[in-house]
Amino acid sequence: MTTVITYSHLFDNHNTQGHPENAERLHAMIKTLESSPLKKHIKIIEPEILPEEKLKTVHSSEMINLIKEMSSREEKESWIDPDTYVCRSDYNTARLAAGGLLQLCEDVINDKITNGYALIRPPGHHATRLRSMGFCLFNNAAIAAHHITTKNKRVLIIDHDVHHGNGTQDIFYDRDDVMYQSFHLSPHYPGTGDYNEIGVEEGEGFTINTPLPHGAGDKAITELLEQILLPTAKAFKPDITIISAGYDSHHLDPLGGLKLTANMYGEIIKRYQRIQPRIVCTLEGGYNLEWVGKCLLSQLGELASKPVNIKDTADEEINIEPLISKIKKKLKDYWPM
């Protein structure tokens, strides 16, 4: 079966000059895909808008109503905080993004499609239960994951954005039907994601954070995957995996600090496919317009079983064995290490 992308030009409505999270991101990615041989193995569909009642399963009414009210103002854009803007009609645009991801997850879990990629904006992983923040309005991954759990399914979320997905962690921190795994730069925005943050109550042990120092790259990620992330994911036995695909962990990203190459993103897909082939990616960060499309191709190539090799290298001199030892010690009572 063909790998499916959900995408709409309506995401261009969420845009403001000078902000790194702007409409040119998707333009660059679509342009790269259009010029790639992979295009013939990809089907692009229009997303379906998310009903408001689905938002309420994850976010508070106050948070939802704030976005709705700001979206109806006469001003072209309003600001929730210095990082996060809301444009006219963004209530609909953000629901279109969330609906597109949920649609793909629903089709994958029902075996209508093999896998998919939600090429959507605005991103979502910083949005908590109560607050939009960090370029994010609603938490796309969390909305889709919660919906899938209502079908008595277990969901794995792996987040490879350079920034910790504090919102996704917040939403599932006390639950055992969703495992949240993240590697991210630390210290870095938003300041969360310490390895000691492992969940509470029923969710204790189901949040796995691997905070990385500046300069960590492919070698460090490979070690984390082999020693911590993949073994815990395998033991969790997910029915579907959602990947919060942030490409600002690439070594040339202007908002980054990690040193992943474009090929590492495809490698992540390949390794998680061995645990659960039902995978849906959703776009989070990534702000180097020359590279976001290549990072996308790396992951689409693995999803479509047509691997793509990108010419890309990065120097890395980081020893993360001490970090791995600390994380293993923290998690040894919950998962086989």
Q: Which residues are catalytic?
A: 126
pLDDT tens for residues 116-171? 999 999 999 999 999 999 999 999 999 999 999 999 999 999 999 999 999 999 99
Which pTM does this prediction carry?
A: 0.98
pLDDT of residue 317: 84
pLDDT tens for residues 278-325? 999 999 999 999 999 999 999 999 999 999 999 999 999 899 999 999
Are the CB atoms for 243 and 272 separated by under 8 Å?
Answer: yes
Fold of 3-331: Arginase; Chain A (3.40.800)
Mean pLDDT computed over every residue of the chain: 97
Given a cut of 70, whether residue 1 has pLDDT beyond it is: no
Q: What is the mean pLDDT of residues 217-228?
A: 98
Are the CB atoms for 229 and 172 separated by under 8 Å?
Answer: no
Spans of all domains in the chain = 3-331
